[in-house]
Chains A and B, each alone.
Chain A
């Protein structure tokens, strides 16, 4: 029997209460007061010490030699962008309001849709949910999103009850069954979207070096690409301003099967990490990784 969390867990930073507050705000806040609400709530959530410290530690690696005080203010920018991003996501789900979309790498984006199955590899940046929703509405291909479930059970139930229509979400907790399902989805000519920047829970990983420090990236997307013989398209959704996003598609990663499987993976991971670093360096204020990213920082 699963143990029910204590009632006060709903008020934790990842608890369901704040999701309910956000939904309430979306349904009641005049758009011309939104910036005030965002500024206030971003400031309020700076009190979330674990996340603040996680972001600041990551920023110290992304911007070597930076001062802690400067990174504190940068941390506020991360929280500010996160607040707008999740608000835009809820606004889309509740009111079907879509933001302005700009695309770069359009030829790769079109190429991805024309292919017979592909993997879309993204990061915890911008509104990946909103990007996936946009994709599901504009593309003739079906898109299946793979992501880590919410850690809080009530929050998980709340989010699952409000998932947008037409978008299938799979959680990466049932790895073996899921791999077979995803392979079949790709072979049917569809697209699987996976977040490939960090390893959450007990999932397979590959070693990588990001910003000169050793870390791990999920092995799943690379193994899937090799098995399904499809390319991986690095796609990032970044927020440009209020209700304005850019979807950036990079050159695809082609995994070529050789005698040395580890070397195949290594080359693919290197290309992925190159794209990831480039985007994070430019858009550090939108990398929503609230835990220390590198194992040595967590230790």
Chain B
């Protein structure tokens, strides 16, 4: 195997290093410390890779959060009655979210070649979302509540990152013990 994998240890699912954002890492660390009862009806054999983007719950949660945030911003600016605006914002939000991927990906492909640009596009997309949210907080529409909520989640993530930094020795020890 080319990737770092752990065999037959279901608790590995809760390794903080299998999560991307600090908030998710902190939740995973709490679950890891609490321990997980062995599932007698579980699979016969397990192969679990150590990859920061392996958590489904985290990925879906962030995707829903981003989608709802973008859709809310669009509902607020669309010159339509609320029910129609909501109806239109759902497909529009999906298209808008694709724009940084397509534009950023094509630009990076021209500049840097046909390689893996996920990290750059990821940082770029989140930066655009922060700028957009900052702009919305300065408006007078109801969407500014959503924007403040967005910054609230970012603040929670920053606090989680700080806690994880303070607990870094314990996290490392727990990870080593679990992955051993």
Of A24, A35, A109, A246, which is within 8 A of B63 by CB?
A35
CB-based contact A27/B116 at 8 Å: yes
Distance to closest chain A CB from B157 (angstroms): 12
Name which of A59-67, A89-97, A115-123, A275-283 contacts chain B: A89-97
At the interface, yes or no: B67 with Cβ under 8 Å from chain A? yes
CB-based contact B108/A28 at 8 Å: yes
Which residue on A lies nearest to B48, using beta carbons? A100
CB-based contact A98/B5 at 8 Å: yes
Q: Mark B103-123, 1 if CB is under 8 A from A, else 0.
A: 011001100001111100110
Q: Mark A50-71, 1 if CB is under 8 A from B, else 0.
A: 0000000000000000000000
Distance to closest chain A CB from B138 (angstroms): 26
Q: B117 — which chain A residues lie within 8 A by C-beta?
A: 27-28
A40 to B51, CA, bound (A): 25
Q: Mark A18-50, 1 if CB is under 8 A from B, else 0.
A: 000000110111111111110110000000000
At the interface, yes or no: B54 with Cβ under 8 Å from chain A? yes
At the interface, yes or no: A181 with Cβ under 8 Å from chain B? no
In this complex, the member of A30, A107, A246 whose beta carbon has the largest number of chain B beta carbons within 10 angstroms is A30
At the interface, yes or no: B146 with Cβ under 8 Å from chain A? no
Chain B: number of interface residues, binned into ranges:
35 or more
CB-based contact A137/B67 at 8 Å: no
Q: A95 — which chain B residues lie within 8 A by C-beta?
A: 116
A106 to B42, CA, bound (A): 12
CB-based contact A36/B63 at 8 Å: yes
Q: B53 — which chain A residues lie within 8 A by C-beta?
A: 31-32, 97, 243
A: number of interface residues (CB 8 Å): 38
CB-based contact B116/A103 at 8 Å: no
A214 to B51, CA, bound (A): 46
At the interface, yes or no: A244 with Cβ under 8 Å from chain B? yes
A104 to B42, CA, bound (A): 9
CB-based contact B94/A32 at 8 Å: no
CB contacts under 8 Å to B, within A138-177, are: 138
CB-based contact A103/B49 at 8 Å: no
Q: A28 — which chain B residues lie within 8 A by C-beta?
A: 101, 104-105, 108, 117-118, 121
At the interface, yes or no: A242 with Cβ under 8 Å from chain B? yes
CB contacts under 8 Å to A, within B43-66, are: 43-49, 51, 53-54, 56, 58-60, 62-64, 66
Q: A97 — which chain B residues lie within 8 A by C-beta?
A: 3, 49, 51, 53
At the interface, yes or no: A105 with Cβ under 8 Å from chain B? yes
Which residue on A lies nearest to B114, using beta carbons? A27
Which residue on A lies nearest to B42, using beta carbons? A102
Q: B94 — which chain A residues lie within 8 A by C-beta?
A: 36, 39-40
CB-based contact A241/B98 at 8 Å: no
**Top-10 shortest CB links A-B:** A28-B105, A106-B44, A30-B122, A242-B56, A102-B43, A31-B53, A103-B45, A35-B63, A32-B62, A101-B47
Complex A-B: 15 CB contacts under 8 Å: A27-B114, A28-B117, A28-B121, A31-B59, A32-B66, A36-B63, A37-B97, A37-B101, A40-B98, A97-B53, A98-B1, A100-B48, A103-B45, A105-B44, A137-B1
Q: A27-B116, A39-B94, A98-B49 are in contact. List 5 more A-B contacts (CB 8 A).
A: A35-B59, A36-B67, A97-B3, A103-B45, A106-B43
